[in-house]
A and B are shown apart, each in its own frame.
Chain A
Amino acid sequence: EIVLTQSPSTLSLSPGERATLSCRASQSVSTYLAWYQQRPGQSPRLLIYDASNRATGVPARFSGSGSGTDFTLTISSLEPEDFAIYFCHQRTNWPPSFTFGPGTTVDI
């Protein structure tokens, strides 16, 4: 099973600052990686799919990059509503297998 590791586990920043979140896979997942945001008490929300594509309605301040085993989610300038938990997610093989990273909390 592919293991996803996210770092840091917590990122303490202020509004307006840049956030850089990392997701590393134990083996190559090509670009089959997605990023989600989860606010307290809410269901996850898709931000980025296939490593670098913004989902419909996601603000341009969110961007994704990477391939293979190393991926990055960047929030260019934090808004108050961006303080949340961010998970990465990969899919391999078909029939598929999916795993999620443990999450990075972005807080003030």
Chain B
Amino acid sequence: QVQLVQSGAEVRKPGASVKLSCRTSGYPFTTTYLLWVRQAPGQGLEWMGIIHPGDGTATYAQKFLGRVTLTRDTSTTTAYMELNSLTSEDTALYYCARANPETNCEKSSCALAYWGQGTLVTVSS
């Protein structure tokens, strides 16, 4: 079955960087877009970026431009999200999610059909 397994919780000081992983299995890794979404404590969902694992092309939300980088390793079917210049406002649960394979993401809502369990990132001095 399709699985997205994310790396464990991280604690960082302000100004530091963090790199999270999302190991996928159960489907052809290069065929479907992956997105990263975060959720601050008690808050809603916020889109950060999208990557096509096939060619590595990534698009980022305006808010995170210059501070986030999405990459992937096709040999291990793992996606990565690196966020720099952390502040306390980056304390959140970070999710990776796979776009719905039943539709063409570029011609649909690109809904997120499969989600990882989330990685908690805490930024504190």
On A, residues with C-beta under 8 Å from B are 1, 31-34, 36, 43-46, 48-51, 55-56, 87, 89-91, 94-103
Does B26 sit at the interface, judged by CB under 8 A?
no
Nearest chain B residue, comparing its CB with the CB of A29: B109
Query: A residues within 8 A CB of B35?
Result: 98
On B, residues with C-beta under 8 Å from A are 35, 37, 44-47, 50, 59, 61-62, 95, 97, 100, 102-103, 105-106, 108-113, 115-118
Given contacts A87-B45, A97-B61, contact A46 B113 (CB under 8 A): yes
Would you list 23 pairs from A and B whose C-beta atoms are within 8 A, ordered by A residue?
Answer: A32-B109, A32-B110, A36-B45, A43-B95, A43-B115, A43-B118, A44-B115, A45-B115, A48-B111, A49-B103, A49-B108, A51-B109, A55-B113, A87-B45, A89-B111, A91-B109, A91-B110, A96-B50, A96-B106, A96-B110, A98-B47, A99-B47, A100-B37
Given contacts A55-B100, A96-B59, contact A44 B112 (CB under 8 A): yes
- Report the Cα distance A31→B108, complex, angstroms: 8
Query: A residues within 8 A CB of B106?
Result: 94, 96
What are the 5 A-B residue pairs with the smallest beta carbon separation, nearest first?
A49-B111, A34-B111, A43-B115, A98-B47, A95-B59
